[in-house]
Amino acid sequence: MPNIDFLSTVHRSTKRDYLARVNEFPKAEAAKRAKEFGFDYWDGDRKIGYGGYKYDGRWRSVAEALATHYELKAGDRVLDVGCGKAFLLYDLSAVVPGLEVRGVDISQYAIDHAKEEVRPQLRVASAGELPFADQSFDLVISINTLHNLYCYDLDKALREIERVGRRSKYVVVESYRNEEEKTNLLYWQLTCECFYTPLEWQWWFDRCGYTGDHSFIYFE
C-alpha cells in the first residue's frame, strides 16, 4: 500500500495558532458543537470548525493529481466517503468530463449546502454502512474522515471501502511522528477519535484488509 501525498500543499496553506486554539474558547464546548457537524462546524466561528467552508478552488490541484495518478476517464465511477460539501467531487467532475461521482457524509447540513452541480449524487450515510454494491467504484477516496471514527467504526469503514472499490482506493488520515506533532494535533483537532502513529495506522490497514493507497496529515 503506497504512501502517496496529494494533499500537503492544501494542508500547509492554512496558518494555525495552536495555543490560541485551546485558549481563546473552551475546547470541550467547541468539540461538542463541532461533532454535531451542522452550521457551527461548517460555516460558524473558526473556533468551532472551518469558519466558513466556501468553494475557492483549492481542491482543483488535488483533483488533477488524483485524475492523473489513477488514470480516471469518462465513465469511471468515483466515491468520496465523508465528502462534506463535495468540493473535491465537483473539481474531479470538471477535470474529467463524464466521470460518474457519488458522495456520502453523515452531515445533512453539508449535503444540503454542497456544490449544486453534484448535490444530486450525494446522500447522507455512514462510512461503516456504505449503501452500494460490492465493487461498485473504480476509485474510492476518503479525505480527512476516518480519524473521526471510534475504533470499532473505523474497522467497519475500512472494510466497506475495500468492499465497494473494484480498482483503486485512497484514504487520508491525521497522524503524528513525535510528541510535538501529537500535541499540535490534540490542540487543533475538534472531531478526532483516533490518534495513531503511521505504524499504528498500518496495523489498522492490515487488520481490515485494506489494500489501497494512503497518506498522512501531520501538524508540524
pLDDT for 194-217, tens place per residue?
Answer: 999 999 999 999 999 999 999 999
Domain count, the chain: 1
In a domain, 110, yes or no: yes
Tell me: the pLDDT tens digits for 149-170? 999 999 999 999 999 999 999 9
Q: Is the pLDDT of residue 132 over 90?
A: yes
CATH of the domain at 158: 3.40.50.150
Average pLDDT over residues 11-15: 83
In a domain, 189, yes or no: yes
In a domain, 111, yes or no: yes
In a domain, 83, yes or no: yes
Residue 61: name the closest of 12, 106, 108 by CA: 12
In a domain, 3, yes or no: no
Mean pLDDT (the chain) is 96
The pTM of this model reads 0.95
In a domain, 202, yes or no: yes
In a domain, 2, yes or no: no
C-alpha grid cell, residue 128: 461503516
Residue with C-alpha cell 487488520?
Answer: 207
Average pLDDT over residues 122-143: 98
For 208, the domain range is 8-217
Q: What is the pLDDT of residue 12?
A: 82
In a domain, 69, yes or no: yes
Q: Is the pLDDT of residue 220 over 80?
A: yes
In this prediction, residue 15 has a pLDDT band, given cuts at 50, 70 and 90, of confident
Q: Is the pLDDT of residue 1 over 80?
A: no
Tell me: the pLDDT tens digits for 41-56? 999 999 999 999 999 9
